[in-house]
């Protein structure tokens, strides 16, 4: 990379700076940009450029007739948006319902995952026998590829041969014939599957966050006579705030955009109660081949997430400063 031998002609021409052995390495000012550039290029190619393309497509009349030559599709203005948001038509109503289902799914899954995660991390905070084993065990569902996790739940919840119906029926709690993957139950099935796989992530991050809280804080609280519950409320939770800020946001974004769980659980026929926005837009786009409309719906989804994220970050950052 750098060579100290053989001064090159250029360095003799312009003597004092830069030193000869730094000649072929880029200047210190340029280097960080060069190091970041490859990562940036790929992100631009796969994320930013297509996203701009998607925003543009949402303004086109991009039905199946124009797909082959999409750059020449006629402009539709905001027609796609007003169509998607026309709550007097079937398209608007199903989109609104899908939004409500997604919001419910996301809030429940994030809430449950966080609660289970903080519960388990607190119980495992102090050392005892078997702690390391449990810690590893709890992480297994998150380590599974998401499609195998969803496949397992699809099998568990199978109406005829599934474990859940066999057990509930065997115990006499139900007749053992419940359709978990049809109708309104499908919502519960989706939340259960997503939570099962996601809570270990909350657990992993919260556990690492708790480990970075110094021991002596707890010790002096004990000396002051604070009970375990008080310590949890006045030490653990406040100290976890920076970790929670990012964790809850990421969990929210992941669940709100979730595609995998309903895609694997229900194949092509997704029940209304589990029709998350991503799969709703996906199926809509590929059934009607109206990519303009699909892009408009995706754009609305992005706008919503943008507003929520900005509001969330502003709100939580101010609270952290106040604290």
Partner 1 sequence: MPEPRWFRVLRVVGLTLLTMFTVVPLYVMVTSALKPLGAVRDRFQWLPEDLTFQPFMDMWSTIDLADYFINSAVVALGAALVSLTLAILAAYAVSRYRFRGRDGFRIVVLSTQMFPGILFLLPLYLIYATIGRYTGIELYGSQLGLIVTYLTFSLPFAIWMMVGYFDTIPRDLDEAALIDGASPVGALWRVVLPAARPGIAAVGIYAFMTAWGETLFASIMTDSDSRTLAVGLREYSTETSVYWNEVMAASLVVSIPVVIGFLALQRYLAQGLTAGAVK
Q: Which stretch binds partner 1 (CB under 8 A): 9-17, 77-85, 134-142, 179-187?
A: 134-142
Nearest approach, Cβ of residue 193 and partner 1 (Å): 9
Nearest approach, Cβ of residue 9 and partner 1 (Å): 21
Binding residues among 51-80 for partner 1 as defined by CB under 8 A: 51-54, 56-57, 70
Nearest approach, Cβ of residue 303 and partner 1 (Å): 10
By beta-carbon proximity to partner 1, the closer residue of 179 and 254 is 254
Candidates 79, 107, 182, 305: give the one binding partner 1 (CB under 8 A).
Answer: 305
By beta-carbon proximity to partner 1, the closer residue of 88 and 298 is 298
Query: Is 118 among the residues that bind partner 1 (CB under 8 A)?
Result: no
Query: Is 83 among the residues that bind partner 1 (CB under 8 A)?
Result: no
Nearest approach, Cβ of residue 273 and partner 1 (Å): 20
Asked if 243 and 209 touch (Cβ cutoff 8 Å), the reply is yes
Q: Which stretch binds partner 1 (CB under 8 A): 48-56, 75-83, 179-187, 315-323?
A: 48-56
Candidates 138, 180, 187, 266: give the one binding partner 1 (CB under 8 A).
Answer: 138
By beta-carbon proximity to partner 1, the closer residue of 100 and 115 is 115
Candidates 144, 182, 213, 217: give the one binding partner 1 (CB under 8 A).
Answer: 144
Query: Is 254 among the residues that bind partner 1 (CB under 8 A)?
Result: yes
Binding residues among 270-299 for partner 1 as defined by CB under 8 A: 277-278, 281-282, 285, 291, 294-295, 298-299
Binding residues among 156-215 for partner 1 as defined by CB under 8 A: 156, 158, 161-163, 165-167, 196, 204-205, 207-209, 212
Tell me the three-class secondary structure of the chain, residue by residue: CCCCCCCCHHHHHCCCCCCHHHCCCCCCCCHHHHHHHHHHHHHHHHHHHHHHHHHHHCCECCCCCCHHHHHHCCECCCHHHHHHCCCCCHHHHHHHHHHHHHHHHHHHHHHHHHHHHHHHHHHCCCCCCCHHHHHHHHHHHHHCCHHHHHHHHHHHCCCCCCHHHHHHHHCCCCCCCCCCCCCCHHHHHHHHHHHHHHHHHHHHHHHHHHHCCCHHHHHHHHHCCCCHHHHHHHHHHHHCHHHHHHHHHHHHHHHHCCCHHHHHHHCCCCCHHHCCHHHHHHHHHHHHCCHHHHHHHHHHHHHHHHHHHHHHHHHHHHHHHHC
By beta-carbon proximity to partner 1, the closer residue of 48 and 96 is 48
Find where tokens 């002609």 sit.
9
Is residue 292 packed enough to be buried (19+ CB in 10 Å), middle (13-18) or exposed (0-12)?
buried
The span from the first CA to the last CA of the chain, in angstroms, equals 50
Query: Is 262 among the residues that bind partner 1 (CB under 8 A)?
Result: no
By beta-carbon proximity to partner 1, the closer residue of 88 and 218 is 218
Cα dihedral sign, 182-186-192-195: positive
Nearest approach, Cβ of residue 189 and partner 1 (Å): 13
Binding residues among 209-248 for partner 1 as defined by CB under 8 A: 209, 212, 218-219, 222, 227-228, 242-243, 245-247
């Amino acid at each position: 990379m750098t060579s100290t031998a053989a001064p090159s002609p250029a360095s003799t021409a312009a003597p004092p700076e830069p030193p000869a052995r730094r000649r072929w390495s880029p200047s210190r000012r340029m280097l960080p940009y060069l190091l970041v550039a490859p990562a940036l290029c790929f992100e631009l190619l796969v994320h930013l450029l297509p996203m701009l393309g998607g925003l543009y497509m949402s303004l086109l009349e991009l039905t199946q007739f124009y797909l082959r030559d999409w750059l020449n599709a006629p402009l539709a203005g905001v027609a796609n948006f007003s169509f998607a948001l026309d709550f007097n038509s079937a398209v608007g109503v199903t989109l609104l319902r899908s939004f409500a289902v997604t919001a419910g799914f996301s809030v429940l899954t994030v809430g449950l995952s966080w609660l289970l995660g903080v519960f388990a991390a607190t119980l495992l905070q102090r050392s005892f026998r078997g702690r390391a084993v449990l810690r590893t065990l709890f992480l297994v569902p998150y380590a599974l590829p998401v499609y195998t996790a969803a496949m397992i739940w699809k099998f568990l919840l199978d109406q005829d041969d599934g474990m859940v119906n066999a057990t509930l029926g065997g115990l006499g709690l139900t007749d053992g014939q419940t359709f978990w993957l049809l109708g309104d139950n499908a919502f519960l099935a989706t939340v259960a599957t997503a939570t099962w796989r996601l809570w270990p992530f909350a657990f992993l991050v919260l556990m690492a966050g708790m480990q970075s809280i110094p021991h002596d804080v707890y010790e002096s609280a004990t000396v002051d006579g604070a009970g375990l519950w008080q310590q949890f409320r006045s030490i653990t939770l406040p100290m976890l705030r920076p970790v929670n800020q990012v964790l809850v946001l990421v969990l929210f974004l992941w669940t709100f955009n979730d595609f995998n769980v309903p895609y694997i659980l229900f194949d092509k026929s997704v029940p209304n109660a589990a029709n998350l926005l991503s799969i709703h837009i996906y199926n809509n786009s590929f059934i009607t081949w109206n990519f303009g409309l699909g892009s408009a719906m995706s754009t609305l989804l992005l706008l919503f997430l943008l507003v929520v994220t900005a509001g969330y970050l502003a709100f939580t950052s101010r609270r952290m400063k106040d604290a």
